[in-house]
Amino acid sequence: MQKLARERREISKLVETYQAYKRVKEEIQQSQELLQESDEEMRDLAKAELQKLKERLGSLEEELKILLLPRDPRDEKNIFLEIRAGTGGEEAALFAASLFRMYSKYAEKKRWRVEVMSENPTGLGGFKEIIALVEGKRVYSVLKHESGVHRVQRVPVTEASGRIHTSAVTVAVLPEADEVEVEINPNDLRVDVYRSSGPGGQSVNTTDSAVRVTHIPTGLVVTCQDEKSQHKNKAKALKVLRARLLDKLMEEQRTEISERRKSQVGSGDRSERVRTYNFPQNRITDHRINLTLYRLDSVLEGELDEMTDALTAHFQAEALKSGQ
């Protein structure tokens, strides 16, 4: 029943739009017939109605094109959100914490669940790195365009002279991988256990509960020490590793497609600066779509819909242009 309900929900918008499209076409036919009437007033009314109907038909056609685009099979998936401090030292770590708070508040508004998988906090309340699992309805479809370098321009709390500094944080959005999608050979793993560090209660520095998992073929390393149980930490680390391996496979596919089609649409290149957060001007700018909003304060409180909706519309339009 759940599977059928999900399939019905996925196609209902397309069906409703197509039914509206058919109705408008019928109404256009009726209005065209009225143009043959001898009554001049009736003909004028039909002309005015015909113009509105043609405009409505055009917008429905565009909507249908988008709805008929091949769906990304991963759109329904949960994600691993990885935020890392880049250039900027402690200020970058503090902004990484601000971004995590922003995404957490957005998730709360969407009724998504956020579970921290791994974190590396700093003394002033920032994060060198934080990884969280975000679970909910169509999480990947909404947040998949958040990957990239996020730049912040503001006066750091650590700066006495009040000069504006520029720092950078990287965000990675990885779809959660099913075991059938990414099969991990246990012989390809090296698992090291060690004692946890930092806050965590009595078990810290007394038991070897922290886990570091290395995937030997790719060199990918995942560490987890948030749980008191070594088994729970290992399970979390393997979930993150599976997502990173899926992301690596997706990146290889995207590179192959972009080379073949000579197109960078959907390349997911994280080396580019995607967004700037300017605190003095209360401004946030997404450089991929040239969208600037002068309400940075509300965006940081989780009001992200305008930005995510604009990004989704942009990349859908690009897909239509390139025939993908």
Mean pLDDT for 279-298 is 94
Report pLDDT for 298.
95
Selection from 290, 255, 239, 1 nearest residue 132 by Cα = 239
pLDDT at 291: 94
Same domain, 211 and 310: no
Answer positive or negative: Cα dihedral of 283, 286, 289, 295: negative
What is the dihedral sign for C-alpha 238, 194, 114, 167?
Answer: negative
Question: Which CATH number characterizes residue 236's domain?
Answer: 3.30.160.20
How do residues 112-152 score in pLDDT, each as one tens digit?
A: 999 998 889 998 889 999 999 999 988 998 999 999 999 99
- The tally of domains found in the chain comes to 3
Question: Can you tell me the distance from the alpha carbon of 175 to that of 140, in angstroms, rounded to the nearest whole number?
Answer: 6
Has residue 293 been placed in a domain?
yes
Q: Is the pLDDT of residue 261 over 60?
A: no
Residues 54 and 98 in one domain: no
> Residue 74 falls within a domain, yes or no?
no
178-194 mean pLDDT: 80
Whether residues 169 and 200 share a domain: the answer is no
User: Which of 46, 67, 88 is the endpoint of a domain?
Assistant: 67
Q: Is residue 73 part of a domain?
A: no
Q: Is residue 23 domain-shared with residue 42, that is, in the same domain?
A: yes
Residues 158 and 196 in one domain: no
Q: Do both 112 and 173 map to the same domain?
A: yes
**In the block, which residue shows the tokens 């897909």?**
319
Same domain? For 146 and 194 the reply is: no
Read off the pLDDT of residues 215-228 as tens digits, 9 standing for 90 and up: 988 888 988 887 77
Same domain, 176 and 293: yes
Q: Decide if pLDDT at 265 tops 80.
A: no
Alpha helices, DSSP H only, in the chain?
2-34, 40-67, 89-110, 139-143, 230-261, 296-299, 305-322
* CATH number for 84: 3.30.70.1660
- Is the pLDDT at 271 greater than 50, yes or no? no
Pairing status of strand 273-278 against strand 148-154: parallel
Specify whether 48 is located in the same domain as 113. Answer: no
pTM: predicted TM-score of the whole model, two decimal places: 0.68
CB atoms within 10 A of CB 94: 23
Looking at the fold, whether 137 and 91 belong to one and the same domain comes out as: yes
Work out the pLDDT band at 83, boundaries 50, 70, 90: very high
The tens digit of pLDDT for each residue in 41-76 reads 888 888 888 888 888 888 888 778 777 766 777 888
**Local confidence band at 256 (pLDDT 50, 70, 90 cut-offs):** low
What local confidence, expressed as pLDDT, does residue 266 receive?
34
Between CA 148 and CA 141 the distance in angstroms is: 16
Residue 199 has pLDDT above 60, yes or no: no
